[in-house]
Structure 1
């Protein structure tokens, strides 16, 4: 993937406003609703084709509906398909959580009075419904636009150009943050700078037209775009909204210096956002050993076009027996850094001594402390 910012940013192209996509960029809608199409197609004796669905990422609903009906040879019109499936989607929207770094970015832009808009290929009514489940989001955006409010949705530039117009900012001074290729193309068609945070890991190498490609919003550095930098790091650690991981430990017994693999349970595999990538830390609860500090690397490994989630953890403590195969519950409360270069898969997920030292020190601070009475630890 590309680096974190442009090679150079001339005064003529200084960023004055930011435009965010919604689904897959700041809201984990895909995870919350990913089983909907599978359940719907099963009623017609059909199975989901993951490749076809990846290619539909970012499309407008009407366009997507027509292609689904055609691709799966459904005995429905696109309108009938939409009428049947939309209630299934809307029922899941309350479960869609903010993606890591989304609330941080929104609060940061608002605090520094940077105009920022939401421009989505969803209909405006549906955007409003999704936003209603996230306190403050509707009020904080300078502009909120859906595809039904312009002549053409993405990849047409209409949405982004209209957002810029309503904010009173020239398109050349806008930075777009997108997760889909459709959105990235729309951004470039509008003459804007664009940061891509791909929601499809397998397609990440296809985002070469973006000015910058990141794994996660936690990697975004606004100062590289002439925007105020984040000042929320605590020593060498970034507080994040807690992530919950459960699974089985697999690896070398009785050696805290060697990372253990975590085989996630189904709930974790379904709920953990694809955009969670990097080296994190938190609290590990072992079924027979109690609570330990932990450093965790999370990312994706691509082999033969197939993406596999990789989760490795170093538990900062000593064990008097083999813990491999034990049940583990992990609360991730902080972020340290992005993963190493993925050119060498064997070292991409490596956890360094410095990571352990940073995690050890951070977890002694009140902001990262473990308290079983807190709501985040009450599952």
Structure 2
């Protein structure tokens, strides 16, 4: 048996061709997933093997033979990939004969932060029937299901005195009220405009009903006109994970399936793209981490997407190695260099899962002055994936334990599994210098 090898670069996760594979016995201890961080120019290597699902905390003390200059660390089970070698597919980039000629997007969770906009709706609805939201059940998620499928599961889970159709009829008005608040996820507007500007056909294929898709995108100026085809699950034989939505989208654009690139967030969506024999990029939330292993590439957000890797025209909007972004707002208690988010609903973080990486922007505390900051937003993988927001003040000092409002306006790089340690002063000062200079440019001061 041989071990699967994945390459993690700033661009995402790529499957390494079979001639790179290494024997399992040399690297796996107690059936854990190990991340091998090597000195290669572009990447870390992920070695995965599915066995015992337990998480081993004391991995540093385990004897493990590794090549020189390679460090091992354990990665949580939520990021494990399927170990069946038959399920692995090599990275299908722009060097493949099947060149990417069109892009197909999912909607909810990929382009729009619909889940966060509609949070609280189900809880409000259940309260009318004397039911209380079960967080454990919700953790299982119904992402990617059609509305009819999701309704059936909810009615059964909460023993509601309704049919699935009655549930949909009653709850839909509550959801519709919130759709106007669904914001585009990081990098989405930028990517849509870029692809459209360069004349690459785009389609929208969602498990939502077509009527709902039109309603949701109506709040985003110019989106509808950018898509050559828009399809809902009610327009095909069956929705995802069946391939019909994507196949029909390709047909409407006049593009062969093998020449289409799908961008998805859910596992069922990635499976549908696989079934349609299309290339697929996954941009999953933490609760959809299973989709990592079945996609050609997995990204934390569409800010990390590099069109040129797929034979598409590259972006031309970087300014001195930094990227202007639509402002991201958050607030919280600033304590010992970290920001602890404060939200109306303590069960949800203020930031979507896709906001990860190194950013910069402006902060405000009790004074009226705005000051420059560098912000590192990482996933802490030590126990359960959650966000750590490190705030590095530029050209100023501020007392700890005070409320801070933050406006992120620029992006430097993707998350690379490593925090900027206070001891790494050279690296920290380098990033501060980049942020300081950028925040003096019109591209970033316009947000003040």
- TM-score between both structures, scaled by the size of structure 2: 0.75
**Partner of residue 284 from structure 2, selected from 169, 188, 198:** 198
Deviations 1:170-212 (A, max 9, x none): 000100000000100000000000000002x144255201000
Decide whether the 8 Å contact of 2:357 with 2:413 is kept in 1: yes
Matches within 5 A, 1:27-42: 27-42=112-127
| Structure 2: stretches of 5+ with no match in the other structure | 1-5, 15-90
**1:13: how far off?**
1.4
CA distance in 2: counterparts of 1:287 and 1:369, whole angstroms: 21
Q: 1:109 to 1:87 in 2, by over 3 A?
A: same
1:22 maps onto 2:99 in alignment: no
- How many equivalent pairs are there? 356
Matches within 5 A, 1:133-148: 133-148=219-234
1:171 maps onto 2:257 in alignment: yes
Decide whether the 8 Å contact of 1:37 with 1:48 is kept in 2: no
Matches within 5 A, 1:114-193: 114-193=200-279
Q: Tell me the SS of whatever aligns to 2:116.
A: helix
CA distance in 2: counterparts of 1:92 and 1:203, whole angstroms: 23
Aligned partner of 2:400 in structure 1 is 324
Matches within 5 A, 1:132-281: 132-199=218-285, 201-251=286-336, 260-267=337-344, 270-281=349-360
1:313 maps onto 2:391 in alignment: yes
Aligned partner of 1:255 in structure 2 is none
Decide whether the 8 Å contact of 1:176 with 1:193 is kept in 2: yes
**Partner of residue 55 from structure 1, selected from 127, 141, 154:** 141
Q: 1:202 to 1:131 in 2, by over 3 A?
A: closer
Q: Tell me the SS of whatever aligns to 2:388.
A: strand
Moved more, 157-166 or 262-271: 262-271
Deviations 1:39-69 (A, max 9, x none): 2223332223345454310110000100111
CA distance in 2: counterparts of 1:183 and 1:206, whole angstroms: 9
Matches within 5 A, 1:280-359: 280-288=359-367, 290-304=369-383, 306-319=384-397, 323-341=399-417, 352-359=428-435
Relative contact order, higher structure (CA 8 A, sep 6+)? 1
**1:38: how far off?**
1.8
Q: 1:114 to 1:371 in 2, by over 3 A?
A: closer
Aligned partner of 1:375 in structure 2 is none
Decide whether the 8 Å contact of 2:333 with 2:342 is kept in 1: yes
Decide whether the 8 Å contact of 2:131 with 2:158 is kept in 1: no
Decide whether the 8 Å contact of 2:209 with 2:233 is kept in 1: yes
Decide whether the 8 Å contact of 1:41 with 1:48 is kept in 2: no
Moved more, 260-269 or 185-194: 260-269
**1:355: how far off?**
1.5
CA distance in 2: counterparts of 1:371 and 1:124, whole angstroms: 36
Decide whether the 8 Å contact of 2:202 with 2:227 is kept in 1: yes
Q: Which has the higher helix share?
A: 1
Q: 1:371 to 1:209 in 2, by over 3 A?
A: closer
Deviations 1:278-329 (A, max 9, x none): 100001112137221000011332454x43221111010233xx61111111
Q: 1:267 to 1:366 in 2, by over 3 A?
A: farther
CA distance in 1: counterparts of 2:310 and 2:147, whole angstroms: 32
Deviations 1:259-279 (A, max 9, x none): x10011114955422211110
Q: 1:323 to 1:205 in 2, by over 3 A?
A: farther
Decide whether the 8 Å contact of 1:282 with 1:330 is kept in 2: yes
CA distance in 2: counterparts of 1:143 and 1:101, whole angstroms: 21
**1:244: how far off?**
0.7
CA distance in 1: counterparts of 2:139 and 2:155, whole angstroms: 12
CA distance in 1: counterparts of 2:137 and 2:267, whole angstroms: 14
**1:9: how far off?**
4.0
Rg larger in 1 or in 2?
Answer: 2
